[in-house]
Amino acid sequence: MIFENATLFFISIVIVIKSAGYATKYIIDIAKHLRLSEFFVTFVIAGVISIMPELFIGINSAIAGSSAIGIGTLIGSNIADLTLVIGIIALAGKKIMVNSSITRNNNAFLAVTALPVLFMLDGQLSRDDGIILVVAFLFYMSQLIKKEKIFSKHDSKDVISALKSMMFFIACLAVLFVSAHFVVESVVGISHELLIPSVVIGMFLVAFGTTMPEMAFSLKAVLAKHKDIALGNVLGNVAADCTLSMGIVAIIAPVETAFSAFATSMLFMVFSALLVVTLLQDGKKITSNDSFLLFFLYIVFALIELRHYFT
């Protein structure tokens, strides 16, 4: 059974990554056809759409009654985004300069990152908490959109192309949802076979796989000399995961667990966000030297978290 579950997991996670990549491509095509601004396309659309792998895995885990897998995946994905992904794109680009669209929203970004941590202090993430997180996401995004020019001066006439891209986008979502179901099913099977807590598999193995779409998008942006776009995509992803994704999971199946089960990982998530914001606030850039600090932080997180579960 372990071989079958492992095979199912790897096939499913590849399909999740591929379908999320295509979904991101088609939603950006739609945005371009409708002549949306570059900020809206990258930070809001690309950042939010790239949460689909972990969001759909979270939804399926909640439906299956294993919300801890979903929450573990979301936390692990955010930490990987804030350390490994940002570190890799900083290393690839040597230096990432950021524009005012990103830096002026630092405090709001920290607030939405810390919100689920505050809600879980009582040992649960209730449906009411989930509703507040979703509302916080909508408010946060509305404030970002309000500050930017969303539509260009010229309206697009290419409605047929936009509708065609929308059809492909919906098809990708369907494939993504089905493959996410099998990811959750295989993770539960592997954890039972190896006696490894499913939350650990979600926090590391699944989470690392779900960061692939934003990592690929950000690396392409860096190589194309759009370094601020690359960072905006990652930060948009983290903000959406901490509010929309966790909120939806909690609404479907409230998380009833001791705060200590997620305390270390959630604190690392907030600290990682604080570190990134501090680096951006001080010099409005992240350098290749900063990337090694971010890599070190992830290694420390992994060692502490794994030691907690296996000792």
- CATH number for 66: 1.20.1420.30
Q: Is the sign of the CA dihedral 185, 190, 195, 200 positive or negative?
A: negative
pLDDT classification of 154: cutoffs 50, 70, 90? very low
- The dihedrals phi and psi of 97, each to the nearest 5 degrees, come to -85, 145
pLDDT, mean of residues 56-83: 86
Q: Look at the chain and report how many structural domains it folds into.
A: 1
pLDDT classification of 229: cutoffs 50, 70, 90? low
End-to-end alpha-carbon separation of the chain, Å? 26
pLDDT at residue 115, rounded to an integer:
92
Does residue 236 carry a pLDDT above 70? yes
Does residue 161 carry a pLDDT above 70? yes
Whether 198 and 45 have beta carbons less than 8 Å apart is answered as no
pLDDT at residue 271, rounded to an integer:
93
d(CA 300, CA 206): 19
pLDDT at residue 301, rounded to an integer:
92
Q: Is the sign of the CA dihedral 89, 95, 100, 105 positive or negative?
A: positive
pLDDT at residue 226, rounded to an integer:
62
Per-residue pLDDT tens over the stretch 265-299 = 888 999 999 998 888 776 567 888 889 999 999 99
Residue 107 is encoded by which pair of tokens? Answer: 């405090």
Q: What is the pTM of this model?
A: 0.80
For residue 153, the 8-state DSSP code is: S
pLDDT classification of 83: cutoffs 50, 70, 90? very high
Whether 114 and 238 have beta carbons less than 8 Å apart is answered as no
d(CA 179, CA 228): 32
Mean pLDDT is lowest, of 129-133, 214-218, 294-298, for 214-218
Buried b vs exposed e over 17-45: b needs ≥16 C-beta within 10 Å? bbbbbbbbbbbbbbbbbbebbbbbbbbbb
pLDDT classification of 258: cutoffs 50, 70, 90? low
Greater confidence (145 vs 116) lies with 116
Residues forming a β-bridge with 96: 286
pLDDT, mean of residues 205-209: 78
Q: How far lies 171's CA from each of 22, 23, 26, 157, 188, in Å?
A: 10, 8, 10, 24, 27
- HSE-up (13 A, CA, CB side) for residue 249: 34
Does residue 123 carry a pLDDT above 70? yes
Q: Residue 34: which domain range?
A: 2-310
Length of the chain, in residues: 311
Q: How far lies 132's CA from each of 4, 55, 84, 147, 270, in Å?
A: 40, 17, 29, 23, 19
pLDDT at residue 103, rounded to an integer:
55
Whether 112 and 238 have beta carbons less than 8 Å apart is answered as no
d(CA 74, CA 63): 16
pLDDT, mean of residues 70-78: 88
Per-residue pLDDT tens over the stretch 92-120 = 877 776 655 555 667 788 888 999 989 98
pLDDT at residue 128, rounded to an integer:
94
Whether 295 and 84 have beta carbons less than 8 Å apart is answered as yes
Greater confidence (210 vs 297) lies with 297
Most confident of the ranges 65-69, 112-116, 178-182, 256-260: 112-116
Q: What is the residue-averaged pLDDT of the chain? A: 79
Whether 97 and 228 have beta carbons less than 8 Å apart is answered as yes
- The dihedrals phi and psi of 255, each to the nearest 5 degrees, come to -90, 115
Exposed (0-12), middle (13-18) or buried (19+): which is 68, by Cβ within 10 Å?
Answer: buried
Please name the residue ranges forming H helices in 147-158: none
pLDDT at residue 212, rounded to an integer:
73
- The dihedrals phi and psi of 64, each to the nearest 5 degrees, come to -80, 0
Q: What percent of the chain has pLDDT over 90?
A: 15
